[in-house]
Structure 1
Amino acid sequence: MKIVRRIGASPRERGSLAGDTCPDIFELSSGDFAVIGTEATAALDGELPPDAARAPHERIVIVSRETLLRAKADIPNS
């Protein structure tokens, strides 16, 4: 599995002063997506709705609204 491309604007384009440490979204060679976000499993696990579940190997991460909105145009429809 490899990262194929970034989805949306780079951290620098979104105004990160460091330009390299911010939420990010990537499309993988498998067609799946990988995200870099703030780990929030402990804080949000109990907030999941009844029809949502998290496997032991899964984590809940927060991606900023700006990151996701700027990625929207790059997310394929299929």
Structure 2
Amino acid sequence: MSQIVRRLGVAPRLRGSATAATCPDLFELADGNFAVIGTDVTDSLDSQLPADAARADYERIVVITRETLIKAKPDIPDA
């Protein structure tokens, strides 16, 4: 299992999360992949995936806020 190298964007508290109740987050991993903390919406969106998309049994569909991704954009590598 890879290790977290850095957060992409700003900490949830700096985006207005005063509690641990809502803390979407993005992290870059040592192996170059990314980890996402988000709300699990697999049950509600799984049937809406386009025909050319698939999800393995061990994968989940998660949602992060628009603000979380926008704040992380400057930290996301181009390549």
d(CA) in 1 for partners of 2:17 and 2:32? 27
Amino acid in the other structure paired with 1:61: V
- In structure 2, the gaps of 5 or more residues are none
Any idea what the Cα deviations from partners look like across 1:22-51, whole Å, max 9, x if unmatched?
A: 000000000000000000000000010111
d(CA) in 2 for partners of 1:18 and 1:47? 31
Aligned to 2:54: 53
State whether residues 39 and 62 of structure 1, in contact with CA within 8 Å, keep that contact through their aligned partners in structure 2.
yes
Amino acid in the other structure paired with 1:32: N
Answer 1 or 2: which has greater helix percent: 2
d(CA) in 2 for partners of 1:39 and 1:19? 16
Quote the RMSD (CA, aligned, Å): 1.3
- In structure 1, the gaps of 5 or more residues are none
Aligned to 2:26: 25
When residues 40 and 48 of structure 1 are mapped into structure 2, their CA distance, relative to the original with a 3 A threshold, is same
Moved more, 17-26 or 46-55: 17-26
User: Alignment partner of 2:32: what SS?
Assistant: coil
d(CA) in 1 for partners of 2:67 and 2:26? 12
d(CA) in 1 for partners of 2:71 and 2:21? 17
Identity of aligned residues (%): 60
TM-score, length basis structure 2: 0.93
State whether residues 40 and 62 of structure 1, in contact with CA within 8 Å, keep that contact through their aligned partners in structure 2.
yes
